[in-house]
Amino acid sequence: MTESFAPGVRVQDLTVVYRTPVGELPALAGVGLTLAPGTITGIVGESGSGKSTLALSLLNAVQPPGRISGGSVEIDGLGDVVRLTGDDLRRARGRQVGYVFQAAQNSLNPLKTVGKQLLDLGRSHDVADLPALLREARALLGRMGLDGGRVLDSYQHELSGGMRQRVGIMLALVLNAHLVVLDEPTTALDMITQATILRIVKEVHRERGLTTLIVTHDIGVAAEVTDSLAVMYGGRVVEHGPTMDVLGSPRHPYTRGLIRAIPRLSGDIGEATALPGRPPTLGTIPAEGCVFRERCPLRMAVCDTVDPAPAAYGERTVACHAVGRPVNLAVRKEYV
Amino acid sequence: MITGTGVTKTYRQRGNLLGGRDVQALRGVDFAIEKGGAVTFIGESGCGKTTLGRIVAGLETYDSGEIVIDGTPMSGLRHRQRQAHFRRVQLIHQDPYSALNPTRTIHQTLHAPLALRARQKGRSKAWAEERARELLTLVGIDPGYVLPRYPHQLSGGMRQRVVIARALTVDPEVLVADESVSMIDVSLRLGILALLKDLRERLNVSVLFITHDIATARYIGDDGELYVIYRGQVVERGPTEAVISEPVHPYTQALLSAIPVLRGVERPGAERVVPTEALDERHADTGCLFARRCPFRTERCESERPSLEGTVHGHACYHPQPRAVIPVEASA
């Protein structure tokens, strides 16, 4: 059995390419990201930013036509996941890394009860004591406010969206994984159900001593639960730091624009503006220079040719040529 | 202007051996959509807001009550006559990815309704071409770029704008936007909301906005009306800003409490209303529909159903009480 501890994760220089008719295009271009043990990290980004690809890389589960072409994903107690193959990889998935898939509501087998699927999971991981697994599952479901016995006897169509999401979380945790990845955990859920799921995620994270990664397009969701926040754009992490700091004083022009573009309940309606232009797709990510420059109000000559490397500013990492230059103070004012 | 009075709709579910179950999607809803106005329906999935939108668009029948369009009651009309009225109401679908025919270019998509329109108006083919360009420009996209392309070549935001342009081909007076921004990327969402607001001002079209995300309702116009719908009943109604800043119904407060707080930018409100249990459609219909989940319920709530009281800012609750549930600016 694995020890109970929250593992740290170090993603270094990770590059993932997708094969297309026009050659291999990078969905992730040299991404670096560290998840501190015991924290909840959020990855936010728009469609095509590479956030789901990065999350899948933690399981070494990028599907063809995509492949990890470089870099490493070091997970404490597991080593470099990129090098894992075959049975070692299969065992790591589920045992050490729990994954709650995007649209977990629809990722259950409609022909089997939840309990049967749980037993399949147990057998595929050579769990000797299946009754204990069932007990653990019932306890977890009970912890999330469900009637465990009833849920295990149910088919997916008998469960509501919020209940299925909790089943997804149960399946990710039942083998005692201490690194959990949640991909869009609340998309397609109602507001009140979303709030319930987020509360459960926070509580379970704390009680079980996990390292949690949440991938979402909804900054509000990340703001609510995460300790640290990474903002992705065009296959790069453009800003990363403590959540309160990143949201309270964003430094990358994309982060600033994104926060200003969120419809909110408080504040002046007139101050909110959409970002001009549109997010890049795999085919339109520029080959050189900064990926954000087409939409950037701080664009300079250097942005056209040199892709800015992430630079550390205290606890914050920002990848932008314009950040840290005193000349931009005047420009920055309108964003604050 | 479109008004509805006492609109009801019941869906009969085909049962198993134990018999079927009736779902009351709408239980006597009153509403009014002024010319050029903005009305938002909010509520959880299954509350009936989409059914109401489809009824307003003429895509769904209603069991009782009445819909009146510009003084003409719809229920007395024959199908064909009714269609002519409902043509003035156009629905913008939630999913811009499935709302456009993938085998047709945007030009073909827009040309079909415009050619029909040209015949009706006795205009030339050139008029239809010109109109297509005009509409695309109006919704903020470059006709030269978009017209020859297929939907899959466009981003979600662009597709949604094309869907809006297509709805405008028949010169509608009301646009029904059902969750029209929920599938759009965050950075582009405000652009679509601003477009709907702009269309109200420029073309004087009304917008019926259906959403579960209350915050977006603020952005289609500050003169908007908000209807909070719960299990087929309007439980709170009033000017959008008033309902958001001073909600009095516990259900509205629960919805607002559930919205994530943008920590670092906002602080949570002083109070928070959390339903005592999850939504269950099988809850008894006696008394207040929200009573089972309401932290403030009394005996009266379990036996009597409150009706919508109040004129400008109305609510259906025996114990209305303003609560500070929405986040406040962190700097304030």
- Does A248 lie at the interface with B, CB-CB under 8 angstroms? yes
Segment A103-125 shows an average pLDDT of 88
Query: In the prediction, which pLDDT does B182 show?
Result: 81
Query: How many angstroms separate the CA atoms of A224 and A244, rounded?
Result: 10
Query: In the prediction, which pLDDT does A328 show?
Result: 42
User: Pick from B194, B212, B261: which is nearest to A224 by CB?
Assistant: B261
For residue B326, CA distances in Å to A115, A123, B68 come to: 40, 48, 36
Give the count of beta carbons closer than 10 Å to the beta carbon of residue A199. Answer: 15
Query: How many angstroms separate the CA atoms of B45 and B51, rounded?
Result: 11
Amino acid letter, residue A169: I
Query: How many angstroms separate the CA atoms of A235 and A222, rounded?
Result: 19
User: How far does Cα B193 stand from its chain's mean position?
Assistant: 13
Q: How many residues does the structure list for chain A? A: 336
Query: In the prediction, which pLDDT does B20 show?
Result: 64
Sort out which chain A residues have CB atoms less than 8 A from B261's CB and list them.
220, 223-224
Sort out which chain B residues have CB atoms less than 8 A from A45's CB and list them.
none
| Residue A205 falls inside a structural domain | yes
Query: How many angstroms separate the CA atoms of A49 and A10, rounded?
Result: 20
Domain of A279: which CATH number?
3.40.50.300
CB contact under 8 A, B259 and A265: yes
- Does B183 lie at the interface with A, CB-CB under 8 angstroms? no
**pLDDT tens string A15-43:** 999 998 888 999 999 999 999 999 999 99
CB contact under 8 A, A191 and B259: yes
Amino acid letter, residue B211: T
| Residue A44 falls inside a structural domain | yes
- Does B155 lie at the interface with A, CB-CB under 8 angstroms? yes
Q: Which two three-digit tokens encode residue B187?
A: 């950075």
Query: In the prediction, which pLDDT does B15 show?
Result: 61
Query: B193 with B181: CB under 8 angstroms?
Result: yes
> Which has the closest alpha carbon to A225: A265, A198, A194?
A198
Segment A38-60 shows an average pLDDT of 93
| Residue A81 falls inside a structural domain | yes
Higher pLDDT, A317 or B154: A317
Q: Which of residues 191-210 of B touch A (CB under 8 A)?
A: 191, 193-194
Q: Which two three-digit tokens encode residue A103?
A: 């649209």
Sort out which chain A residues have CB atoms less than 8 A from B47's CB and list them.
none
Query: B40 with B209: CB under 8 angstroms?
Result: yes
CB contact under 8 A, B262 and A219: yes
A325 pLDDT band, cuts 50/70/90, is low
Query: In the prediction, which pLDDT does B16 show?
Result: 60
Flag whether pLDDT at A330 surpasses 70: no
Segment B209-216 shows an average pLDDT of 91
A287 pLDDT band, cuts 50/70/90, is confident
Which residues, 6+ apart, have CB-to-CB distance to A301 below 8 Å? none
- Does B186 lie at the interface with A, CB-CB under 8 angstroms? yes
The domain total for chain A is 1
**Min Cα–Cα distance to chain B from A258, Å:** 6
**Which residues share a beta bridge with B8?**
B27, B64
Query: A243 with A312: CB under 8 angstroms?
Result: no
| Residue A99 falls inside a structural domain | yes
**pLDDT tens string A62-91:** 989 899 999 999 999 999 999 998 889 988
| Residue A287 falls inside a structural domain | yes
| Residue A178 falls inside a structural domain | yes
Block residue for tokens 């009266």: B300
Query: In the prediction, which pLDDT does A289 show?
Result: 92
B98 pLDDT band, cuts 50/70/90, is confident
- Does B231 lie at the interface with A, CB-CB under 8 angstroms? no
Segment A270-294 shows an average pLDDT of 87
| Among B160, B187, B198, the residue to mutate for chain A (most A Cβ within 10 A) | B187
Amino acid letter, residue B245: S
Query: How many angstroms separate the CA atoms of A221 and A215, rounded?
Result: 10
Sort out which chain B residues have CB atoms less than 8 A from A269's CB and list them.
218-219, 222
- Does B95 lie at the interface with A, CB-CB under 8 angstroms? no
**Min Cα–Cα distance to chain A from B296, Å:** 17
Nearest CA in chain B to A189: B45
Sort out which chain A residues have CB atoms less than 8 A from B263's CB and list them.
223-224, 243-244, 247-248
Query: B244 with B214: CB under 8 angstroms?
Result: yes
**pLDDT tens string B141-154:** 999 999 999 998 88
- Does A315 lie at the interface with B, CB-CB under 8 angstroms? no
Flag whether pLDDT at B86 surpasses 80: yes
By residue range, what is the domain housing residue A94? 9-108+159-318
Query: How many angstroms separate the CA atoms of A299 and A290, rounded?
Result: 9
Query: How many angstroms separate the CA atoms of B195 and A209, rounded?
Result: 46
**Min Cα–Cα distance to chain A from B7, Å:** 25
Query: A135 with A195: CB under 8 angstroms?
Result: no
Helix/strand/coil for A112: coil
Block residue for tokens 């029948």: B61
- Does A30 lie at the interface with B, CB-CB under 8 angstroms? no
Query: How many angstroms separate the CA atoms of A222 and A230, rounded?
Result: 10
Prior bond of B73 cis (ω within 30°): no
**pLDDT tens string B3-42:** 999 999 998 876 665 566 778 899 999 999 999 999 999 9
Q: E-strand spans in A132-287? A: 179-183, 211-216, 228-233, 236-242
Nearest CA in chain B to A269: B219
Query: How many angstroms separate the CA atoms of A261 and B184, rounded?
Result: 12
Rama region for A216: left / alpha / beta (φ>0; ψ in -120 to 50; rest)? beta
Query: How many angstroms separate the CA atoms of A94 and A121, rounded?
Result: 9
- Does A162 lie at the interface with B, CB-CB under 8 angstroms? yes
Query: In the prediction, which pLDDT does A27 show?
Result: 93
Q: Classify residue A324 by its DSSP letter.
A: T
- Does B264 lie at the interface with A, CB-CB under 8 angstroms? yes
Looking from the CA of A91 toward its CB, the CA atoms found within 13 Å total 10
> Which has the closest alpha carbon to A262: B212, B257, B271, B260?
B260
Query: How many angstroms separate the CA atoms of B62 and B54, rounded?
Result: 10
How large a percentage of chain A has pLDDT more than 90?
A: 65
Q: Please give the mean pLDDT across all residues of chain B.
A: 90
Flag whether pLDDT at A262 surpasses 50: yes
Sort out which chain A residues have CB atoms less than 8 A from B158's CB and list them.
278
Interhelix angle for B156-168 vs B106-121, to 10°? 10
Query: In the prediction, which pLDDT does B19 show?
Result: 60
Rama region for A181: left / alpha / beta (φ>0; ψ in -120 to 50; rest)? beta
Query: A273 with B190: CB under 8 angstroms?
Result: yes
User: Pick from A217, A219, A263: which is nearest to B216 by CB?
Assistant: A263
- Does A247 lie at the interface with B, CB-CB under 8 angstroms? yes
Q: Classify residue B263 by its DSSP letter.
A: B
> Which has the closest alpha carbon to B33: B63, B68, B85, B73?
B68
- Does A263 lie at the interface with B, CB-CB under 8 angstroms? yes
CB contact under 8 A, B262 and A220: yes
Flag whether pLDDT at A326 surpasses 90: no
| Residue A327 falls inside a structural domain | no
R_g (Cα) of chain B, nearest Å:
21
Sort out which chain B residues have CB atoms less than 8 A from A160's CB and list them.
278
pTM for this prediction: 0.89
> Which has the closest alpha carbon to B52: B228, B219, B250?
B228
Sort out which chain A residues have CB atoms less than 8 A from B258's CB and list them.
191-192, 194-195
Query: In the prediction, which pLDDT does A214 show?
Result: 96
Query: In the prediction, which pLDDT does A1 show?
Result: 40
Query: A189 with A165: CB under 8 angstroms?
Result: yes
CB contact under 8 A, B219 and A263: yes
Question: Which domains are present in chain B?
Answer: 2-88+172-329 (3.40.50.300), 106-169 (no CATH)
| Residue A209 falls inside a structural domain | yes
Query: In the prediction, which pLDDT does A187 show?
Result: 81
Which residues, 6+ apart, have CB-to-CB distance to A121 below 8 Å? A94, A171, A174, A175
Nearest CA in chain A to B219: A269
CB contact under 8 A, A274 and B188: yes
- Does A191 lie at the interface with B, CB-CB under 8 angstroms? yes
A331 pLDDT band, cuts 50/70/90, is very low
**pLDDT tens string A224-255:** 999 999 999 999 999 999 999 999 999 999 99
**pLDDT tens string A146-198:** 899 999 999 988 888 888 889 999 999 999 899 999 998 888 788 888 999 89
Query: B208 with B177: CB under 8 angstroms?
Result: yes
Torsion angles phi and psi, residue B31, rounded to 5: -155, 165
Segment B206-211 shows an average pLDDT of 94
DSSP string, B19-41: EEEEEEEEEEEEEEE-TT-EEEE
How large a percentage of chain A has pLDDT more than 70?
A: 94
> Which has the closest alpha carbon to A10: A67, A88, A82?
A82
